[in-house]
Amino acid sequence: MKTYIYRVLLIFIVSQSIFSQVVEGNVENLPVKEYTLTINEEVVNKAGVAVKGMTVNGSIPGPVLEFTEGEYAIIHVKNEMKEETSIHWHGLILPNFYDGVPYLNTPPIKPGQTLNYEFPINQSGTYWYHSHTMLQEQSGVYGSIVIHPQKETLLYDKEVVLMLSDWTNEKPMNVLRNLKRGNEWYGIRKGTSTPLNKVIARGAFGAQLDFWRQRMGGADIADVYYPAFLINGKQAIEYPDFKSGEKVRVRVINGGASTSFWMTFGGEDPVLVSADGHDVVPVVKNKTFIGVAETYDFIVTIPEDGKIEYRITAQDGSGTASAFLGSGKTLAAQVVPRPDKIGMMQKMAKMDMKMGAHAIKYRPKKDERFKIKNEYGMQMDMPKDSAMKGMQMDHSKMKGMKMDDMKHKQMDMPKDSTMKGMQIDHSKMKGMKMDDMKHKQMDMPKDSTMKGMEMDHSKMDHSKTQMDGMQENHMVVADSKKGNGMESEMKMEGMNLFSEYNYDYLRSPVKTNYSANAPVKEILLNLTGNMQRYIWSMNGVPLAETDKIKIEGGQVTRITLNNLTMMHHPMHLHGHFFRVINKNGDYSPLKHTVNVPPMENVTIEFYGNEYGDWFFHCHVLYHMMGGMARVFSYDTPRDTRMKGFPISELVAETNRYYSWGMVDAASHFTALQLAASNLRNQFNVSLEYGWNKNIEGEVTYERYLHDYLRVFGGVNIENDKEDSFDSFNTTAVVGIRFLTPYLFALDARIDNELRPRISLGRSIMIFPKFSVFGYYEYRLDLGLVNDLPVAKEYTSDTVCSAGAEYMLSRNVSLMGSYDNRFGAGGGLSVRF
Ligand SMILES: [Cu+2]
C-alpha cells in the first residue's frame, strides 16, 4: 500500500511539474538556495585588446549557479551599470513574472536597482542564464545553471561545465549597425567572403548569377567577425585535475551571441547523454553540432595517458577554442574543415530553390503564410516537407514490400487525423514492380507535417534518381526505365546539403507525445530575412508589425518552422519545452531551442499549460534584434507589477533607427552621404562637390513598401551650368527606388519641372577587399515646364561614373574613379 501511495504521489508530482503551471512563492516550503549576481561594466581583455565588457560577479562568464531539484531559488540581481539590464533563466520552467524578458513579463532592472527572482526548481539538467536586454549577452552577461536531480541516473565521477561564447572587441550595437548598413568587412576579415575571382576559379559563375538574380549575394553561414571564441572565457583552458579512468560529465552550453559550433573530442568517442537539460538515450557520438543557446552533456573517460582535447569550431570555420581534460600528452580532437561556401552555392543553385522571400511585406496584416511557403523554398516534384526525411524508406524495408499486395495490407501509419490529407494512389504503385515485398510495413512517423502530403506514385516511376540519396536511405525501384538523369540527381544532392544538422540522433528515453485527445493548433512560421538590410522576420513580418500569437491552455500548439533564408536560425521558446519531431516519433526529444537549417523545415509542438506572455525568437541576437521574434500569449490579464513597463518598449528595440555615413575625399571631388534607417523608413542626405565647380546635393525621405521597393520624395540641388557656380537649380523630386534582380540599385524619379530621370548602380567584389562599381544616370527634359533651346525637341543630361575600391579596414577604403562631372581621380573613403 505504501509503495502504491508513493507511486501515485510520484506520478502526481511528475505530472504536476510537466503539466501544470508554476505558482509563485515558496508554497511547499522547499529548502531555499540563494545567490546574488552583480552586473557591472568593466574593462576586460578577451582577444588581445582591453575593451569595456559586462561582467557578472566580476567575471565573464558569470558564476555557475548550482541547485538540486526540489530547492527554491532566490536570486538577487544587482545592476551596477549605467544602463538597464535583465536576466533570463534559459530553459527553466518558472512563474511568468520571473522569466526575465524586460517589458514582456519582468520589469527591467534599472541602474542601481536590485531585482529578486524566485522560483521553485522542478527540473534537473544543464541550463544557463543571460541578459535579455538587447545585445548585452554579447558583452558578457551570461553564466551557467547546473541542477542536480534528487537521485542521479547517470554514472559518472566528476563533472565540468563548459560555457561557449563568441567575443567581439567592438560595441555590439556597432556590430549590428555595420550589418544594417551592409558593410562587407566582417566576411573579408575572417576570410569567408566569396569574391568573384574565387567564384569564377571554381566554375561557379552560373550559380553566382542564379543567386544574384534572386538578389542574394551568395550562400552565407555567419555574419559577424569574432577575434576570439571562448570556453569559460578563455581561448584555451586546461583541466589537469581529472585522473585517468575517471568518467567526467561535460556540460556544454552555447552562450554565443551568434555563433554555432561543431564540437569534436580527442581520444575515445564521448557518449552524448543529454540535450537542452533532458536526458536522451545515450549515443556514442564524436562530432556534434551545437546551435546557439543549446546545451549538450557528454560523458568522457579520461584516458590512461594523456588529456582529451575538446574543441569547438565556429560553424563557418572562422575560429576555434579548446579545453583539455586530464594531463599528459594531448589527444587531439578532429579538425573540422571550413565549409565550402561556393560549393554550397553551387549545390543550392542546382536545386530549384527559390530564394528571396520578403523580410517585410507590402501588407503585413495580410495572411500570406501559405502563399509564401508555396512560392519560395525548395521547388521539387516531391513533397517539400523535410519531415519526409523521417520516413524510413530504407532499402531493406522497401525490399520486403510487395506493391501488388499493398492494396490489401495495412500500412503502419498513425491514426492521427491530420494524416487524412495524404493520398497514396496504390493503383499507380503497382507499376513500381517491387519484388518480394510481402508482410512488411512501411514505418511512417506520426508526424503532423505529413498532412496534405500527396504521394503521387506515378512520379515515382521515373524518380529513381530523385529518391537516391535522400537521407542516405535508398528506395530501390526496379525496372525503372525512364530515369530522369542528371537534373533530378542534382536536385536530390541538395536534400543532403543540411542533413548533418538534423536531430535524428536525439531520442527521448520516455515517450514525449501528448494525449491523442488534446486539441491541436497548427501554426506555420516561415522564417524570412533580408541580408542587405539585415531585417529578420517570420512570414515576412518582423516583431514590430505583428500582434501576439494566441496560445490556448490544454491545447497542443504545433509549429512548422519553414526556413526560407540562407542562415541557420536557433529558435527558442521561453517557459516551455517542445517536442522536436524527428524519426523517433513518440520518442522525439524535448528541447527549448531548435536549430532550423537553411531552406529546411522543422516541426515542433508543445502543450499549453502556462499563463501570461512568453517570448519565441531566434537566439542569434542580431536576428532577434532584426525582428525575428514573436510573443506567444495565453491572453491572461497582464501582471499588475508590469504597470509602467509596456511591451511596446520591447517591440521598439527591434525597430530602432540605425545611422551611418561616409565621406569621400578625392583629388577630383569630395562627397558626404548620411543615412538613418529603421524597418520602414529611411532618411538620406548626399552631397557631392567637384573641385571643377560642379555640385549636387539631395535630401530624401524613403518609405519601404517591401524589401526591394521604396517610394521617396525630397529636394535636389545642383549647379545649372557645367563647371560653374553662377546659378543653382533646386527641384522637388518624387520617385521609386528598387533593388532589381542581379542586385542593381534602380532610381526612377520625376522632378517638379516634369523631367523624368532614371539611374542604375551596382558594386561587385571581384577580389578579396577589391570592388568595382558603376553608376549611370539619364535625365530627360521634354520641355513640359522649361523652355527648350530653339529647334530642340528635348534636352538630356547624363551622369556616369565608374571606379574601384580597396577596403583597408572596416571603415577606410582607397578609392579611384572617373565621373563625367568631376573627371578622374583618387582618394579615400571613410565610413563612420
Ligand atoms: Cu536567426
Last residue of a domain, one of 339, 371, 401: 339
Ligand 1 geometric centre to CA of 576 (Å)? 19
Q: Could you give the CA distance from residue 571 to residue 573 in angstroms, rounded to a whole number? A: 7
List the Cα angle 635/639/642 in 5-degree steps. Answer: 120
- Same domain, residue pair 139 and 270: no
Q: Could you give the CA distance from residue 410 to residue 487 in angstroms, rounded to a whole number? A: 35
pLDDT at 462: 36
Contact between 504 and 588 (Cβ < 8 Å): no
- Same domain, residue pair 768 and 812: yes
Interstrand relation of 629-633 and 613-618 (parallel, antiparallel or unpaired): antiparallel
Ligand 1 geometric centre to CA of 135 (Å)? 14
Residue type, position 717, single letter: I
In a domain, 560, yes or no: no
Ligand 1 geometric centre to CA of 624 (Å)? 7
Half-sphere exposure of 89 (CA within 13 A, CB side): 30
For residue 136, the domain's CATH number is 2.60.40.420
Q: Could you give the CA distance from residue 26 to residue 73 in angstroms, rounded to a whole number? A: 9
DSSP per position, 158-173: EEEEEEEEEE-SS-HH
Q: How many residues does the chain have?
A: 832
Q: Could you give the CA distance from residue 590 to residue 693 in angstroms, rounded to a whole number? A: 69
Q: What is the 3-state secondary structure (H, E, C) of 508-548?
A: CCCCCCCCCCCCEEEEEEEEEEECCCCEEEECCECHHHCCC
Q: Could you give the CA distance from residue 23 to residue 2 in angstroms, rounded to a whole number? A: 29
- Same domain, residue pair 257 and 332: yes
- Same domain, residue pair 119 and 102: yes
Ligand 1 geometric centre to CA of 542 (Å)? 12
Last residue of a domain, one of 101, 132, 152: 152
E-assigned strands of 83-157? 88-90, 114-120, 125-130, 142-148
Q: How do residues 691-709 score in pLDDT, each as one tens digit?
A: 988 899 999 999 999 999 9
Ligand 1 geometric centre to CA of 566 (Å)? 10
- Same domain, residue pair 123 and 24: yes
Ligand 1 geometric centre to CA of 553 (Å)? 28
- Same domain, residue pair 689 and 762: yes
Last residue of a domain, one of 152, 171, 206: 152
pLDDT at 393: 38
Ligand 1 geometric centre to CA of 562 (Å)? 12
- Same domain, residue pair 279 and 302: yes
Q: Could you give the CA distance from residue 585 to residue 605 in angstroms, rounded to a whole number? A: 12
Assigned C-alpha cell, 185: 568587412
Bridge partners (DSSP) of residue 148 are 68
Ligand 1 geometric centre to CA of 596 (Å)? 9
Ligand 1 geometric centre to CA of 475 (Å)? 34
For residue 804, the domain's CATH number is 2.40.160.40
Contact between 271 and 298 (Cβ < 8 Å): yes
Ligand 1 geometric centre to CA of 628 (Å)? 7
Q: 695 exposed, middle or buried (CB, 10 Å; 0-12, 13-18, 19+)?
A: middle
pLDDT at 489: 45
In a domain, 306, yes or no: yes
Q: Could you give the CA distance from residue 43 to residue 53 in angstroms, rounded to a whole number? A: 6
pLDDT at 10: 41
- Same domain, residue pair 284 and 162: yes
Q: Kindly state the percentage of the chain with pLDDT values over 70.
A: 83
pLDDT at 496: 67
In a domain, 99, yes or no: yes
- Same domain, residue pair 707 and 758: yes
pLDDT at 220: 78
pLDDT at 384: 41
Q: Give the residue carrying C-alpha cell 531566434.
A: 618
Domain that holds residue 159: 153-190+225-339
Ligand 1 geometric centre to CA of 541 (Å)? 14
Query: Which residues crowd ion ligand 1, with CB under 5 Å?
Result: 569, 618, 620, 623
Contact between 100 and 86 (Cβ < 8 Å): yes
In a domain, 84, yes or no: yes
Q: How do residues 357-392 score in pLDDT, each as one tens digit?
A: 999 999 999 999 999 999 998 755 444 444 444 333
SS3 category, 349: helix
Ligand 1 geometric centre to CA of 597 (Å)? 10
pLDDT at 495: 54
Structural domain tally of the chain? 3
In a domain, 812, yes or no: yes
Q: Could you give the CA distance from residue 712 to residue 281 in angstroms, rounded to a whole number? A: 58
Residues 6+ apart with CB under 8 A from 241: none
Q: Could you give the CA distance from residue 589 to residue 289 in angstroms, rounded to a whole number? A: 16
Percent helix / strand / coil, the chain, rounded to 5: 15, 40, 45
Q: 763 exposed, middle or buried (CB, 10 Å; 0-12, 13-18, 19+)?
A: middle
Residue type, position 148, single letter: H
In a domain, 335, yes or no: yes
Ligand 1 geometric centre to CA of 537 (Å)? 9
Q: Which residues of the chain have pLDDT under 50?
A: 1-19, 381-494
Residues 6+ apart with CB under 8 A from 9: none
- Same domain, residue pair 185 and 146: no
In a domain, 468, yes or no: no
Q: Could you give the CA distance from residue 681 to residue 656 in angstroms, rounded to a whole number? A: 10
DSSP per position, 391-421: S---HHHHHT--HHHHTTSPP-----GGGGG
In a domain, 78, yes or no: yes
For residue 430, CA distances in Å to 465, 477, 617 come to 19, 11, 46
